[in-house]
Chain A
C-alpha cells in the first residue's frame, strides 16, 4: 500500500515538477517553457540520412527512465522511499553514469557531424565532471555511515549536510548542470555546433528530449535537497511538502545559475574540472570526514 503510494508520488512529482521546471525555465533562464514544448510537439518529425533509428527513438525514453529511477530512491517522508535500497546512493550514481551514455547515443544516432561532435564533447566533459559528484555522494554517506538515502536523511536531523559539508552543494550543483545539459556544463548542445546533439531533431522527438531534460532537473534537484537540505525533514508541514518546496527552490537556483555563467570552450573546462573541481572535491571529502569523526 505504502509502496504504491510512493510510486504514485514519484510519478506525480516528475510530471508536475517537469511542468514547473518548464515554467521556471522560461521565467528565469529565457528558455522556451511549456508553450515551446507544445510547439515542438506539433511540428513534424524529421529524418536524417542513415540514422540509428532505434537509439534515436529510445534516447529520450532512456533519459526519462533514468530521471524516474533516480527519483525512486529519494525518500518522500522520513523512512520511506519507493526504492529503499541499502545502496540507494549508488543507484543514483549509476543513473548519472548512464545519463552520459544516453546523451552520447542521442548525439551519435542521427548520423550527422554536429550532433556527433556534441555527443563526444559531452562525454569528454561529463565523465570527469561526474568524479567530483561521486566524491560528494560518498561524503554525504559519511555522517550517516550508510549508503541508504533514508539513513542519510535521518543523519540530518541535527544539522543539514549543507552546513556540515559546505563544499558539497556547490560541487553537486556542477553535476546537476552537467546532468541536465544546462548553462556552463552544457557541452552537448552548444551554439557553435548549431544545437549539438539536438541539431537534427524536430517534432515530438525534440519535445520529448526537452521534457526529459526538465524531468532530470526535477530528479537531480530532489536528490540535492535530500543530500544537503534534509529532504523531507521540516516542522509543521508533512514530509513530501517539504521535499517539494526544497526541490522547487533548488530548481529555481540551478536555472538562474545556469543562465548567468559563461561556458568556456571544452578544453578550458576540462582543465578547470581536473585542476580545480577534482582537488576541491578531495578537500571536501577530507573536511566531511574530519567533521564526521
Chain B
C-alpha cells in the first residue's frame, strides 16, 4: 500500500515537472514546479519523515510564490494572454539534462541506502530537532541569522522611503553647514538621483 502511494506520488511529481516545460506561462510553470515539490514532500511524509516532508511543502509554496511575483513584475502578463514558450537553448539544455540525469542515476545506483527499518513509535521529529540543534546548532543559527539579515536588507533597499526622504528624490543627507553639499560619501555617477519626469 505504502509502495503504491509512493509510486503514485512519484509519477505525479514527474508529470508536474514535465508540465513546467509544456505550459505557456511563467506563473503556470512556477506552480507546476511547486506541485512537483509538494508531491516530493508528501513522499517524505509517507517515508516517516513528517517534518522534512511538510517543511518541503511550505518552503516550496513560499519560494514559488516569490518566483511567480518576480515573473509578473518583469512580465505583467496576466493569465498568459500572450502565450510564451518555456524552453529555449535546446541543445545546451538537452546535454545538461542528460548529464544531470546520468549523474543522479549513477549516484542512486552507487549509494548504499540504509536497510534497517525505523521502529514504529520512534519520534523522528524530535531526533531531527536534536540533530539540528545539537551538533549542527552553530551552522544553522549562523545561516538563519544571515538569511534574515539579507531579507531585511533587501526590503530596506527596495523601500521607497529612505533615511533622508523618498528614494525618487535622491534621499540625500543634509549638508554639514546650511546649504552645503550633502554630508557623507558621494556615490559615483550621482547615486540614485534620477529624474524622469
Contact = CB atoms under 8 A, between A and B. Distances in A.
A91 interface: yes
Contact of A127 (B34, B50, B65, B152): B65
Nearest to B128: A87
Interface in B55-87: 55, 57-59, 61-62, 64-66, 68-69, 72-73, 76, 78-81
B61 A120 contact: no
A56 to B, nearest CB: 9
A50 B69 contact: no
A105 interface: yes
B50 A111 contact: no
A274 B58 contact: no
A127 B66 contact: yes
Contacts of A52: 25, 28, 79-80
Interface in A242-277: 267, 270-271, 274
B193 interface: no
B40 interface: no
Contacts of A101: 31, 34, 61, 64-65
Contact of A112 (B28, B64, B78, B126): B78
A109 B68 CA distance: 13
Contacts of B69: 104, 120, 123-124
Contact of A85 (B50, B64, B76, B81): B50
B138 interface: no
Nearest to B155: A274
Given A87-B125, A110-B79, A123 B161 contact: no
A111 B72 CA distance: 12
B159 interface: yes
Interface residues of A, number: 38
B171 interface: no
Contacts of A100: 61-62, 65
Of residues B55, B58, B61, B78, which shows the largest number of chain A Cβ atoms within 10 Å of its Cβ? B78
Interface string A77-113: 0000000011100110110111011001100111111
A90 B129 CA distance: 13
Nearest to B81: A50
A94 B54 CA distance: 7
B58 A94 contact: yes
A215 B189 CA distance: 55
Nearest to A112: B78
B12 interface: no
A152 interface: no
Contacts of A111: 78-81
B1 to A, nearest CB: 16
Nearest to B55: A90
A85 B80 CA distance: 39
Interface in B11-59: 25, 27-28, 31, 34, 50-51, 54-55, 57-59
A229 B9 CA distance: 37
A87 B66 contact: no
A116 interface: yes
Given A101-B64, A274-B155, A93 B58 contact: yes
Contact of A109 (B55, B79, B155, B161): B79
14 contacts: A49-B81, A51-B79, A52-B25, A86-B125, A86-B126, A87-B125, A93-B58, A96-B58, A97-B57, A101-B34, A105-B31, A123-B68, A127-B62, A271-B159
Interface of B: 25, 27-28, 31, 34, 50-51, 54-55, 57-59, 61-62, 64-66, 68-69, 72-73, 76, 78-81, 123-126, 152, 155, 159-161
Interface of A: 49-52, 85-87, 90-91, 93-94, 96-98, 100-101, 104-105, 108-113, 115-116, 120, 123-124, 127-128, 130, 146-147, 267, 270-271, 274
10 closest cross-chain pairs (CB), A and B: A111-B79, A97-B61, A94-B58, A97-B58, A90-B54, A116-B78, A87-B50, A52-B79, A87-B51, A86-B125
Given A104-B68, A124-B69, 7 more contacts: A87-B125, A90-B54, A98-B58, A101-B31, A123-B68, A146-B126, A271-B159
